[in-house]
Amino acid sequence: MERTQYRRKQKKPAMPPIGHLLLLLALIAVVLVVCITLARKAEVPAEDPQTPESGGAETQAPLPKGNWKPIEMPEGSLAQGDLVLVSAARGFEPSASLVTVYSQKTDSYFVKDTELSVDSRIMLPLNEWMDAFREATGIDNVNIVAGYRTKDYQQKLYDNAVTTKGKAHAESYIALPGHSEHHTGLAVDLDTYYADTGASGDFDGRGKYAWVEEHAWQFGFTRRYPENKVHFTGIAYEPWHFRYVGIPHAYAMKQNDQCLEEYLEFLREHPFTADHFFLQCDGKDFEIYYCPQNAVVVPEDRPYTISGDNIGGYIVTVTGLSA
């Protein structure tokens, strides 16, 4: 009889399902991530005195190198200084410390009448400018025909231009009363005068007379209404009209081919709290920056001048660089 063999079925050791292992590993990973995140949030960063506090208001950038102090500007000073903008959009109340040109001029040029006046600040550079022109060219027949104007006189000029040449011409060449640069006393108009005949002629700035515009910056003057800037100034080309803005600014405007409107916009891109505008001219270093009208800051240890822009702020011009 054949013997039947029976095999006992052996039990395999119990093994956890693979899904359970994966779940366990995922839970461990989540716990690690949560712990690391909480630990990082718990860290307190060291205080940095140069880092502005965050919040809804604007933050103050670190001060530029040097010693600085805030100052308060007197009422009305926004419309005072060499860089005030006077235009169709920016009115100006006539205000200047006046002198008559005839009483202080040199013999290098003529003046239309004995009562024509300008701001006293420009008398010396005006004389030096005309003296240098005569020395360079031998010409001494430049004639100052306009300087400071009252609002009443400006109104008469405008009305006369409308009557004789039409409103379109008047609006292109004659500013409305209260909107003329001549109210500042910082602007002059030129023509030519021939003493032997008593005749006068327009100043077109050509030929030898081109020297006047080319070197105007050396004496702080700029041709205010260039031919290629009518879309900025709103005034037609006037080769005879010059405005005093100060040497560093006249130089910068000439180098960058800017009219006053463009230059003031350029300076607003250089506020006190950001990069300043540095310039070398006339053998000196200049540091120039813009300040809003309620936040004017000046150096404590270097000479400076301040001009309002008649818009909403001030231009600070510092002579020399900080140590």
Residue with tokens 């290629």: 228
Region label for 41, one of left (φ > 0), alpha (ψ between -120 and 50) or beta (otherwise):
alpha
Q: What is the 3-state secondary structure of the chain?
A: CCCCCCCCCCCCCCCCCHHHHHHHHHHHHHHHHHHHHHHHHHCCCCCCCCCCCCCCCCCCCCCCCCCEEEECCCCCHHHCCCCCCCCCCCCCCCCCCEEEHHHHCCCCCEECCCCCEEEHHHHHHHHHHHHHHHHHHCCCCEEEEECCCCHHHHHHHHHHHHHHHCHHHHHHHCCCCCCCHHHHCCEEEEEEEECCCCEEEECCCCHHHHHHHHCHHHHCEEECCCHHHHHHHCCCCCCCEEEECCHHHHHHHHHCCCCHHHHHHHHHCCECCCCCEEEEECCEEEEEEEEECCCEEEECCCCEEEEECCCCEEEEEEECCCC
Active site annotation includes 238: yes
Of the candidates 238, 261, 265, 300, the residue annotated as catalytic is: 238
CB 313 within 8 A of CB 285: no
Active site members = 238
